[in-house]
Amino acid sequence: MHDHGHGHHHGHSHGQVAGSAALLLALGLTLGFSFVEAAAGWWAGSLALLGDAGHMLTDSIALALAALAARLAKRPPSQRLTYGLGRMEALAALINGLLMLAVVAGIVWHAIERLLSPQDVAGGAVTTVALIGLGINLLAAWLLSRGGNDLNTRAALLHVMGDLLGSVAALAAGLIIQFTGWMPIDPLLSVLICGLILASTLSLLRQVFTTLLEGVPESLSLPDVGRTMAAVDGVASVHDLHIWSLGAGRIALSAHVVLTASAEWPQVLKRLQATLASSFDIEHATLQPELPRAEPIVFRRTLGGG
């Protein structure tokens, strides 16, 4: 006897709308200022400004991908894509991470060239533009931090934080050049920021691969979930437990549940669904009940023949 219990409760639409709006606003801010910073960096001869401008332009592309993914993730499931397009967020985050690796490699390459062949930099112009860029990035980061905690928005926030650090580096480079005239600080700070961005990017890519490979989300522990389910009244044991992310902030679970008494399954199912939702925010659960082991059949000889 097999029965399946599904709990489907989708309360993520408001968060997705907020995240999408924040992404679009951050995109407009980042894209607009990247052109201003590129022009100023070219005129001032600053690698820090040019690198940050290229970084912001790349981030604009990344934010556009993130906004598109957030919109696609809101589409309902179809007969072919029964889970919908929630994984588009993970794919966009993967592209964003790979773009970041390319940007880091490009900035480091040019920084090495600049160290080998120093060039004059207009420190005052660098300081002014970097200070404006810092304000722009702080505003974009604030918008994204209020837009949701899904993987896609976090990936976009990572890009903006990288821009923010780039603006800090450019500001520091401008001030040091302006007051000391030491030109190597410009490429050196660029390399330092690349190291920070690289560490964050690798962390993001690890989370993306966990999602795409249907691994257990980092916020959950498979043994903890299993023990909590097994402690529910009416459950004898749990096995074949699987937990994975559907994207768009949704987590799915499937498991075989051995019952203490088969007649209690409807009540046990409700208790399991309530426990998973309240304790782990898992609202998409597929649970298969299994009967407790029956007594083995024993054949005995009866007295009196026959």
Whether residue 303 is contained in a domain is answered as no
Q: Pairing relation of β-strands 284-290 and 250-259?
A: parallel
Q: Say whether pLDDT at 193 is over 80.
A: no
Same domain, 266 and 170: no
Q: What is the pLDDT of residue 247?
A: 74
Q: Say whether pLDDT at 130 is over 50.
A: yes
Of 67-71, 204-208, 279-283, 292-296, the least confident: 292-296
Q: What is the mean pLDDT of the chain?
A: 79
What is the mean predicted confidence (pLDDT) over 59-80? 74
Same domain, 67 and 160: yes
* Those residues with Cβ within 8 angstroms of residue 225's Cβ, 6 or more apart along the chain or in another chain: 241, 243, 253, 276, 280, 282
Q: Rounded to the nearest 5 degrees, what angle is found at the Cα of 190, between the Cα atoms of 189 and 193? A: 85
Same domain, 38 and 164: yes
What is the mean predicted confidence (pLDDT) over 160-167? 78
Give the model's confidence band at 8: pLDDT under 50 very low, under 70 low, under 90 confident, else very high: very low
Q: Which residue has the tokens 């000391």?
A: 180
Give the model's confidence band at 294: pLDDT under 50 very low, under 70 low, under 90 confident, else very high: low
Same domain, 239 and 187: no
CB contact at 8 A, 238 and 256: yes
Q: Say whether pLDDT at 36 is over 80.
A: yes
Residue of 51 and 285 predicted with greater confidence: 285
pLDDT-above-70 percentage for the chain: 83
What is the mean predicted confidence (pLDDT) over 283-291? 90
CATH code (residue 255): 3.30.70.1350
Same domain, 195 and 252: no
Cα distance between residue 155 and residue 273, in whole Å: 31
Same domain, 91 and 166: yes
Whether residue 109 is contained in a domain is answered as yes
Whether residue 3 is contained in a domain is answered as no
Q: What is the pLDDT of residue 306?
A: 46
Whether residue 30 is contained in a domain is answered as yes
Cα distance between residue 229 and residue 72, in whole Å: 34
Q: DSSP of 114-152, one letter per residue?
A: HHHS-----HHHHHHHHHHHHHHHHHHHHHHHTS--SHH
Whether residue 300 is contained in a domain is answered as no
Given 173, 190, 212, the domain boundary residue is 212
Cα distance between residue 183 and residue 123, in whole Å: 9
What is the mean predicted confidence (pLDDT) over 194-210? 81
Same domain, 83 and 200: yes
Q: What is the DSSP secondary structure assignment for residue 212, as one 8-state letter? A: H
Backbone angles phi, psi at 178, to 5 degrees: -65, -35
Given 212, 246, 276, the domain boundary residue is 212
Question: By C-alpha distance, which of 106, 127, 102 is closest to 186?
Answer: 127
| 266-273 contacts, C-beta under 8 A, 24 or more apart | 267/234, 268/232, 268/233, 268/234, 268/235, 269/5, 271/232, 271/233, 271/234, 272/5, 272/229, 272/232, 272/235, 273/5, 273/7
Buried-exposed string 170-207: b where 16+ CB fall within 10 A, e elsewhere: bbbbbbbbeeeeebebbbbbbbebbeebbebbeebbeb
Q: What is the pLDDT of residue 148?
A: 62
Same domain, 244 and 207: no
Residue of 10 and 278 predicted with greater confidence: 278
Given 212, 240, 261, the domain boundary residue is 212
Whether residue 194 is contained in a domain is answered as yes
Give the model's confidence band at 116: pLDDT under 50 very low, under 70 low, under 90 confident, else very high: confident
Q: Say whether pLDDT at 222 is over 70.
A: yes
Q: Which domain holds residue 58?
A: 10-212
Q: What is the pLDDT of residue 39?
A: 86
Q: Choose from 184-198, 246-260, 290-304 the range with maximum mean pLDDT.
A: 246-260
Q: What is the pLDDT of residue 111?
A: 84
Same domain, 62 and 121: yes
Of 261-270, 271-280, 296-305, the least confident: 296-305
Same domain, 33 and 113: yes
Q: What is the pLDDT of residue 144?
A: 79
Half-sphere exposure in the Cβ direction for 96 (13 Å, CA):
38
Q: What is the pLDDT of residue 2?
A: 42
Give the model's confidence band at 151: pLDDT under 50 very low, under 70 low, under 90 confident, else very high: low
User: Into how many domains does the chain fold?
Assistant: 2
CATH code (residue 28): 1.20.1510.10
Whether residue 306 is contained in a domain is answered as no
Q: What is the pLDDT of residue 7?
A: 43
Q: Say whether pLDDT at 296 is over 60.
A: no
Same domain, 160 and 263: no
Whether residue 297 is contained in a domain is answered as no
Q: Say whether pLDDT at 156 is over 80.
A: no
φ/ψ region of 254 (left if φ > 0, alpha if ψ in -120 to 50, else beta) reads beta
Same domain, 200 and 258: no
